[in-house]
Structure 1
Amino acid sequence: MNKNRITYWLMIAIIMVTVGACTEEEGPNPNVSVITVESKTQNAFDKYLDEIYRKPYNIRFMYKMEDIESDMDYQLVPALYENSIKMANLVKYLCLDAYEDVAPDGFLEKYFPKMIMMVGSPAYLNNGTMVLGTAEGGLKITLYNINNLDVTNAAALYRYYFRTIFHEFSHILHQTKDYSTDFDKISATDYVGGSWDDAWDSGSSLEAGFISDYSSKETDEDFVELIAHYITNSEEAWAEKMEAAGENGSAIIGEKMAIVKAYLKQVWDIDIDKLRASIQMRASKLGEQDLDKITIE
């Protein structure tokens, strides 16, 4: 046997010994699973969410940070547990219960988004604009900035959370059954598309017949912004806005609102004035609510 052959067989022997050692000493134990399954044990809050969201409406209220449901375009942090409890009670009280006061039976169960996700931090676009909320295909609404929740400030609750919810829910409604094309014609030449955030000086969009700067993006956004702002402003606050809009702006908004009201009543059997009254009544009694409860009374 020559020297090269001896070297070859020596190398084979070393490899075999090494593999055997790995198999016996470092390899996985065939009797122990390498797959870990996350515990699904429910805490008291989870059980409470089942009772007020899942069972009556088939809605999943998500307060734990789930990568698969998070937007990877933003640097985000989870929502505080205690603030998530408050938001769960707030959304039920100010939104779902308010619609229950005026909507037909089964309305929320059929049309309301099936997932509501809490995120602790704000999300910002590259231009510095804060994202107040997002919606995905009528199935999920994500609310940001939960860790800065102030339950004593109704105006802030409307601005950061509830206008987003009402706005996105209204998108689902018109995407299911569309509104009259007469609405499209009112401000047809005045929509500004993606430049809505820098197209207007302070108050000028209102004078042009848009309830918010974002309303001027396009007709669908205009339509749902009117609903969201109308029901989150008292009758007196709305009258002040119309005065600020001036004769031209208030006339345009009034023409649009006539179509919005007729649409909600004729198509969905919802009186928007009664809906607003319910929301405003509930907002006036926020201080009386136990927003930290996690048990059914």
Structure 2
Amino acid sequence: MKRNLYKICFVLFLLSLATSCKKEDPLNVDFSKYNVDDPVANTELDAWLKATFLDEYNIDVVYRYNRFLHGDDKDVAAVKVDKVQPQMQTVLEGFILPYRTVAGATFIKKTVPKQFVLFGSGAYNTDNSYTLGTASGGRNITLYDLNNFDLTNGTTISRKLRTIHHEFTHILNQLVPMPVDFQLITKSTYNATWTTVSDATARSMGYVTPYSTSQPGEDFAETTAHLLVEGQAWFDAWANGSTTEGKAALKAKEASVVNYFTVNLGINFRALQQEVQKIVRNNYKYSTTLFPYWVGQNLYKTMTVNLEDVLYTNYPVSNDFATAYDTYKAAILAYSSTQKYHLDYIQFRFESTTALTVRAAFSNATTQYFGDYTFTYTINPTTGVVTFTKATQGTGTTYNNAAIFATSFTNTIQAYLTGRTFIANWMPANINADNFNSTAGFSVSGTPTNYFYGVLGQTL
């Protein structure tokens, strides 16, 4: 019995030695290679995020998956790493820098949310909708569905930018409450079950999206985001396609948003809109923010050129067009020493997507007359390439008036317009915020310094 006890003790002793040796052996395994989401900030992406957002704006960008940042009631996928920098570059260019330019560095550094959380999929809700973004406590913006982000797709980019501006508007409303007058414009038609509302119904009632119909706060944020990202042309077209009551509501909401930013926040909303549009138009080539697209949609019915307007003193047209205009103007004046007709303006009247009337408005001391010249035009809504072709004149008083100065018109304005290709664009590029949404024109293809522009109108 004693011998057996010794054997047992000896075996246990050997086992203890073996166990002790295992504890002391070095564990030569690098666990970091098993963790593709290494939390150590040692990648090029982390360095860029730190330098661009954390150091400059005290913004922490969280892209490594954390289930506690999206709520326990949702299943959300992590964002793909290659989507992070393109998305955050868009945040910088299309959101932070426009506010910094217009409102100042102090404002944006103080009010910008200090945490951006990124997820790859949408956060799906029980009503079959899914969340694209949230704002929390004025300090956090969470963005979802980033795995579908495509930097070459203007529609995708605009959608994300709208989400960011929407959520930031909520943050601004937490700092300065949204105006009461906005909440009263369509007070009777807000609907918590917005997922059953169609785009057409929302539009007819004076909303930019079905989601806007859910409550005043979402309506205000959606209206702001669409004015900034989709642009004024889109907003005007949306309003024009509504009912009489719906259009009035949309324009009243626009006025309330502009006033809120200008008066309550001290931010020039039109200047902010201009800065955002520069990025969306020039960097991302978002088609529905471009002038050729809206010419193709026949949103703009007129473009009026009056080189005596102070606008052209500050933002002149090219010498070639100015010479043609002034020569034609001189011929009208020289026609009668007694009447001394004066060229008031030249107006391009887009009768349809192919028919154009070039109208010369001229007057004597008491009466203004119109002289109409018939053209056709073609436009590529994507590239902006435009051609003008003289067509057979119509009949009637305005065409008879035009015939009086036909020779001069043929040798000046008509000669400038025909036989060459133009590019339609918003211009001048450096125009001020007050006129940013109301001027556009045409430059000679291949010679962008040879151009003319005018003030846009939406009715004939």
TM (normalized to structure 2)?
A: 0.53
Change in CA separation of 1:190 and 1:41 when aligned onto 2, cut-off 3 Å = closer
Q: Which runs of 4+ in 1 moved over 3 A?
A: 21-26, 36-39
Q: Deviations over 1:8-40 (max 9, x none)?
A: xxxxxx9xx99xx889948x969x9xxx99763
2:109 matched residue in structure 1:
109
2:298 matched residue in structure 1:
none
Change in CA separation of 1:203 and 1:68 when aligned onto 2, cut-off 3 Å = same
1:155 matched residue in structure 2:
155
Q: Which has the larger radius of gyration?
A: 2
Structure 2: how far apart are the matches of 1:22 and 1:217? 70
Structure richer in strand, relative to its length: 2
Structure 1: how far apart are the matches of 2:41 and 2:232? 46
Q: Which amino acid aligns with 2:185?
A: I
2:262 is the alignment partner of 1:265: yes
1:196 matched residue in structure 2:
194
2:279 matched residue in structure 1:
282
Q: Deviations over 1:187-236 (max 9, x none)?
A: 2221112x1111x2341111111121111111111111110111112222
1:173 matched residue in structure 2:
172
The answer as to whether partners of 2:206 and 2:246 remain within 8 angstroms in 1 is yes
Q: Secondary structure at the match of 2:173?
A: helix
Residues 176-255 of structure 1 aligned to structure 2 (within 5 Å): 176-193=175-192, 195-198=193-196, 200-255=197-252
Q: Which amino acid aligns with 2:183?
A: D
Q: How many angstroms does 1:133 deviate by?
A: 1.4
The answer as to whether partners of 1:118 and 1:143 remain within 8 angstroms in 2 is yes
The answer as to whether partners of 2:39 and 2:64 remain within 8 angstroms in 1 is no
Q: Any stretches of 5+ residues in structure 1 without a counterpart?
A: 1-13, 289-297
Structure 1: how far apart are the matches of 2:126 and 2:178? 33
How many residues get paired?
Answer: 271
Q: Secondary structure at the match of 1:285?
A: helix
2:83 is the alignment partner of 1:83: yes
Q: Which amino acid aligns with 1:127?
A: D
Which sits farther off after the overlay, 279-288 or 102-111? 279-288
1:291 matched residue in structure 2:
none
Q: Which amino acid aligns with 1:165?
A: I
2:430 matched residue in structure 1:
none
Structure 1: how far apart are the matches of 2:202 and 2:191? 11
Change in CA separation of 1:41 and 1:102 when aligned onto 2, cut-off 3 Å = closer
What fraction of aligned residue pairs are identical, expressed as a percent? 27
The answer as to whether partners of 1:104 and 1:269 remain within 8 angstroms in 2 is no
Structure 1: how far apart are the matches of 2:271 and 2:284? 22
The answer as to whether partners of 2:122 and 2:132 remain within 8 angstroms in 1 is yes
Q: How many angstroms does 1:138 deviate by?
A: 2.0
Q: How many angstroms does 1:91 deviate by?
A: 0.9
2:145 matched residue in structure 1:
145
1:293 matched residue in structure 2:
none
2:95 matched residue in structure 1:
95
Q: Deviations over 1:163-210 (max 9, x none)?
A: 1111111111111111332222222221112x1111x23411111111
Change in CA separation of 1:278 and 1:41 when aligned onto 2, cut-off 3 Å = closer
The answer as to whether partners of 1:135 and 1:142 remain within 8 angstroms in 2 is yes
Change in CA separation of 1:29 and 1:149 when aligned onto 2, cut-off 3 Å = same
Structure 2: how far apart are the matches of 1:191 and 1:121? 29
Structure 2: how far apart are the matches of 1:61 and 1:209? 36
2:73 matched residue in structure 1:
73
Q: Which amino acid aligns with 1:170?
A: T
Q: Secondary structure at the match of 1:106?
A: helix
Q: Which amino acid aligns with 2:250?
A: I
Structure 2: how far apart are the matches of 1:153 and 1:39? 31
Q: Which amino acid aligns with 2:149?
A: L
2:63 matched residue in structure 1:
63
Q: Any stretches of 5+ residues in structure 2 without a counterpart?
A: 1-7, 33-37, 286-460
Q: Which amino acid aligns with 2:188?
A: T
Q: Secondary structure at the match of 2:188?
A: coil
Which sits farther off after the overlay, 110-119 or 278-287? 278-287
Q: What RMSD over aligned residues (CA atoms) do the two structures have, in Å? A: 3.1
